[in-house]
Amino acid sequence: MLAVVLATSHAHRIHTMLLEVRPSNTGAIALYQAAGFAEIGRRKGYYPALGSKREDALVLRRSWPAESAANEGTEGRA
């Protein structure tokens, strides 16, 4: 599903994607980092947690140059 979202963003010339993820969700963090996302911030107490506690959210971003998004899907075509 992530690959579809990334491909669709390229097709629509979206140059930056942001997402939030719980720091405890190490599997998702690894997936997003492998897809080129990098941590750019933290939102304190963003998610509800067990009891009356809260969990932070990591803010991740992936950006592409405008030219990359504009040329996506045209490689190899004559």
Domains identified in the chain, total number: 1
Q: Does residue 72 form part of some domain?
A: no
* pLDDT tens per residue across span 17-60: 999 999 999 999 999 999 999 999 999 999 999 888 999 999 99
In the predicted structure, residue 78 carries a pLDDT above the cut 50: no
What pLDDT does residue 68 have?
57
Per-residue CA distances from 11 to 5, 35, 49, 74 (Å):
10, 17, 37, 10
Residue 76 lies in a domain: no
d(CA 9, CA 61): 13
Residue 18 lies in a domain: yes
Instruction: Kindly tell me if the per-residue pLDDT of 66 is higher than 80.
Output: no
The two structure tokens encoding residue 43: 């939102």
pLDDT at 71 over 60: no
Q: What CATH number should be reported for the domain holding residue 23?
A: 3.40.630.30
The residues, ordered by sequence, that sit 6+ positions from 22 with a Cβ below 8 Å of its Cβ are 28, 47, 55, 56, 57, 58
Asked if residue 74 is part of any domain, the answer here is no
pTM equals: 0.78
Does the CA dihedral 62-63-68-71 come out positive or negative? positive
Domain that holds residue 51: 10-66
